[in-house]
Amino acid sequence: MKKIQNTPESYVDDMLKGIYEAHKDFVKPAGDNLRCYHAVQKKPGKVAIVTGGGSGHLPLFLGYVGQGMLDGCAVGGVFQSPSAEEMYEVTKAVDNGAGVLYLFGNYSGDILNFEMAGELAEMDDIKTCIVVGNDDVASAVKGSENVRRGVAGIFFLYKCAGAKADEMASLEEVKTLAGKVGSRVRTMGFALSPCIIPEVGHPNFTIDEDKISIGMGIHGEPGIRVEPMLTAKEIAE
């Protein structure tokens, strides 16, 4: 597949340099680390909301940093979790004195690193808490919602939690609302073709041209089944 890029290794950092240059009035990196992405403007006394995750899902995750939504984002490599240190740096950059909510998808690497970042933040007297998006019904049966993957449904958590924080609600109130929204969001993924990670250079799975994968994850995780191509109405059904 043809791709316009410099080198596969520089793909994410080149993207971030362009965003910072084009939108310098709105976002900037924390210090010299391009992958610690946060809003320029801060609102004293407001709960800050931080997300994070691997690149390759745009506009997730950094595309929702802005007024009334997220305050910062730790940016990982393509399909790679950001480091705990990057999450910690973003936390310090966005803290307004009212605590920080970590709001991200249900993936083990992200959970581990955000927990570590929270421990580091607590040492700086920055209170943190976690809400995990787990909306993907294809990844676990009813009754096991806690292990479901977080995918596109996290958008609604960003919007609602961000609006609540903008009303100067407390950290506990913002956390409670985000959890309530998450408990009511469900998504199902459908894939028509595989993706190609820039540094790999070839698809990591295959789907026949006349087939559709039902329930595939956002990194190419196996879905429920592969079927002959469906119409839009059949997919919705």
Give the residue numbers marked as catalytic: 57, 219
**C-alpha–C-alpha distance, residues 14 and 55, integer Å:** 12
The span from the CA of 233 to the CA of 35, in Å, is 40
Measured CA to CA, the distance from residue 105 to residue 121 in angstroms comes to: 20
Peptide bond into 44 cis (omega under 30): no
Pairing of strands 33-39, 48-55: unpaired
Collect all residues with Cβ–Cβ distance below 8 Å to 159 and sequence separation of at least 6: 69
3-state SS of the chain: helix, strand, coil percent to 5?
35, 25, 40
Q: Give the residue carrying structure tokens 């927990």.
A: 115
